[in-house]
Amino acid sequence: MPQPQATPPKTWTTRALLAWMKDAFVKADLDSPQLCAEMLVAHVLGCERLKLYTEPDRPASPLERQSLRELTARALKDEPVQYLVGEGWFFSMPFHVDKRVLIPRPATATIVEHVLQHARATPGFGRDGGNDSKAFGAGVLIADVCTGSGCVGVALAKHMPAAHVIATDISPDALEVAKENAERHKVADRMDLLRGHMLDPLDEHPVAKAKGSLHYLVSNPPYIPDDEWDSTDPETAVQANVKGFEPTIALRGGADGLDFVRPLLAEGPVHLRRGGLLLVEVAASRANEAKALAQANPLVEAVTVLKDIEGHPRTIVARRK
């Protein structure tokens, strides 16, 4: 009697793995399912994401499949893929991230974009080297308060190749990550990484202690208000991957989300030189309140709120008089 033909074993090619993982992530309602699948497969295969598409028929080894099964299971339990692969992207640059720091968000790129635009357009804010792009930022001093992974300060230092950045954080763990990222992007020689609460380290910095020395003071402080942190309404609730895995200290901003924003708006401007900009990221729901706080500070003028990439009011900008 003829034997029924056995189903040939499925070959787990890159293409098949990506499809299987994407499907699992879609069903679990994860954000960016395709990107998450690509990041994990590229990580396990030790290649760039592009290579997944130039060699889609590459069969995975049993060990690679085992790693991917484990990582997929963890991602399905809301562990952020950036932590699983140890890397997150910000301003088209790769940053090392792990559970010691907040994962960089696209919304925060607004700060970097605005500073670069302003610096290009404003005499005395970095264009003194003329058209020599290596001299862009010469003489410019920037403080990045609550730097976390260092993404904002490092991206600014990278794009203003002659600027100097002071980055502060209360967490020594975060500063280690920021240092690693500054070294990775070869800007460590133009960055001072200082440990301390908010603006405090500026008072001990040899240049910034003079007050009125900064061209830019930027910050993405913890700002999630308690009502959003505790919310169970899917519209406002903090996502499980954020709440369960990212450092609470980098996220929660007290009852109204302004515990760190308020002192930055009140005490930040004194550190800026005339015409210098203060940029502070805030919860979209508190943008109006934060704007009013900035407008109440007599040291600044031209207070505006910038929208993030999703169109939410996100960053307060104020100019030192």
When asked if residue 258 is in the footprint of ligand GLN (CB under 6 A), the reply is: no
When asked if residue 260 is in the footprint of ligand GLN (CB under 6 A), the reply is: no
Q: Is residue 145 within 8 Å of 175, Cβ to Cβ?
A: no
Count the Cβ atoms, other than its own, within 10 Å of residue 236.
Answer: 13
When asked if residue 224 is in the footprint of ligand GLN (CB under 6 A), the reply is: yes
When asked if residue 18 is in the footprint of ligand GLN (CB under 6 A), the reply is: no
CA dihedral (240, 85, 144, 141) in degrees, to 10, reads -160
Strand order in the sheet with 313-320: 191-195, 164-169, 141-145, 214-219, 272-281, 313-320, 300-307
When asked if residue 223 is in the footprint of ligand GLN (CB under 6 A), the reply is: yes
Helix orientation angle between 109-121 and 151-159, rounded to the nearest 10 degrees:
30
Nearest to 168 by CA among 205, 149, 195: 195
Residue 201 vs 253, nearer CB to ligand GLN: 253
When asked if residue 307 is in the footprint of ligand GLN (CB under 6 A), the reply is: no
Which range binds ligand GLN by CB under 6 A, 63-71, 166-174, 219-227, 293-301? 219-227
Can you tell me which of 175, 242, 278, 279 binds ligand GLN, judged by CB under 6 A? 242
Q: Is residue 78 within 8 Å of 241, Cβ to Cβ?
A: yes
Residue 14 vs 147, nearer CB to ligand GLN: 147
Which range binds ligand GLN by CB under 6 A, 191-199, 201-209, 215-223, 293-301? 215-223
Tell me which DSSP letter residue 312 carries. -
When asked if residue 105 is in the footprint of ligand GLN (CB under 6 A), the reply is: yes
For residue 291, give both structure tokens.
Answer: 């704007």
When asked if residue 149 is in the footprint of ligand GLN (CB under 6 A), the reply is: no
Q: How far is the CB of 19 from ligand GLN (least distance, A)?
A: 29
Q: How far is the CB of 260 from ligand GLN (least distance, A)?
A: 9
Side-chain-side CA neighbours of 243 within 13 Å: the count stands at 13
Residue 122 vs 239, nearer CB to ligand GLN: 239
Between strands 87-90 and 93-96, the pairing is antiparallel
When asked if residue 126 is in the footprint of ligand GLN (CB under 6 A), the reply is: no
Side-chain-side CA neighbours of 228 within 13 Å: the count stands at 21
CB-based contacts of 132, cutoff 8 Å, min separation 6: none
Helix orientation angle between 14-27 and 62-76, rounded to the nearest 10 degrees:
10
Can you tell me which of 21, 156, 251, 300 binds ligand GLN, judged by CB under 6 A? 251
Residue 125 vs 223, nearer CB to ligand GLN: 223
When asked if residue 220 is in the footprint of ligand GLN (CB under 6 A), the reply is: yes
* Radius of gyration (C-alpha) of the chain in whole angstroms: 23
When asked if residue 101 is in the footprint of ligand GLN (CB under 6 A), the reply is: no
Which range binds ligand GLN by CB under 6 A, 64-72, 115-123, 216-224, 263-271? 216-224
Q: How far is the CB of 238 from ligand GLN (least distance, A)?
A: 6
Q: How far is the CB of 236 from ligand GLN (least distance, A)?
A: 10
SS3 186: coil
When asked if residue 222 is in the footprint of ligand GLN (CB under 6 A), the reply is: yes
Which range binds ligand GLN by CB under 6 A, 76-84, 133-141, 220-228, 268-276? 220-228
State the number of binding residues for ligand GLN (CB under 6 A): 7
Integer CA distances (angstroms), 61 to 17, 37, 65, 227, in order: 12, 17, 6, 47
Nearest to 169 by CA among 186, 151, 190, 188: 151
**Residues in contact with ligand GLN by the rule CB under 6 A:** 105, 220, 222-224, 242, 251
